[in-house]
């Protein structure tokens, strides 16, 4: 407890935040994490996943659809994967409303077009990242 308090105090004094801490490597095996759900249904018709993405699951609640897919990559690739996804979405009549990233942790974008929503890329397991498409309407 005292060590945690000292860490918080030292970060406050140096003007650093916990985001400045280098990310740990993902060490989880992909055996259980990178597996399509048994009941995985296809994504909405207006969203075609690229060939290098594996559909993991699709969840719907009301007018919101959340599509989870995985692709090759690691922490250092999150922004590049996000940017490739955005380039692909532009060919499907989507536009990019904004982007944000915390390199090594996540890369996000707001999209508009056939549906409004977000794209978020985060580490999944060793050598794989998950792409979450959250689509409204």
Has residue 1 been placed in a domain? no
DSSP letter for each residue of 55-90: EEEEEEETTEEEEEEEEE--GGGHHHHHHHHHHHHH
Q: Is residue 15 part of a domain?
A: no
Residues of the domain holding 45: 25-136
SS3 91: coil
CB 125 within 8 A of CB 57: no
120 in a structural domain: yes
Residue 68 lies in a domain: yes
pTM attached to this predicted model: 0.79
Establish if 14 belongs to a structural domain: no
Evaluate whether residue 18 is within a structural domain.
no
Per-residue pLDDT of the chain (137 residues; tens, 9 = 90+): 333 333 333 333 333 333 333 344 566 678 888 888 888 788 888 999 999 999 999 999 999 999 999 999 999 999 999 999 999 999 999 999 999 999 999 999 999 999 999 999 999 999 999 999 999 98
Q: Is 40 helix (H, G, I), strand (E, B) or coil?
A: coil
Cβ neighbors of 97 (< 8 A, separation 6 or more) are 109, 110, 111, 112, 116
Would residue 82 count as lying in a domain? yes
Q: Report if residue 17 sits inside a domain.
A: no
In DSSP terms, which residues pair with 69 in a beta bridge?
55, 131
Q: Count of domains in the chain?
A: 1
């Amino acid at each position: 407890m005292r060590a945690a308090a000292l860490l918080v105090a030292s970060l406050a004094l140096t003007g650093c935040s916990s985001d400045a801490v280098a990310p740990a490597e993902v060490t989880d095996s992909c055996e259980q994490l990178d597996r399509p759900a048994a009941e995985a249904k296809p994504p909405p018709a207006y969203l075609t996943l690229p060939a290098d993405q594996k559909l993991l699951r699709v969840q719907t609640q009301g007018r919101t659809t959340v599509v989870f897919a995985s692709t090759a990559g690691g922490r250092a690739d999150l922004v590049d994967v996000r940017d490739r996804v955005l380039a692909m979405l532009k060919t499907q009549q989507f536009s990019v409303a904004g982007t944000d990233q915390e390199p090594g942790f996540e890369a996000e974008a707001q999209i508009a077009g056939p549906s409004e929503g977000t794209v978020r890329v985060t580490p999944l397991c060793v050598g794989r990242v998950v792409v979450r498409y959250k689509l409204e309407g």
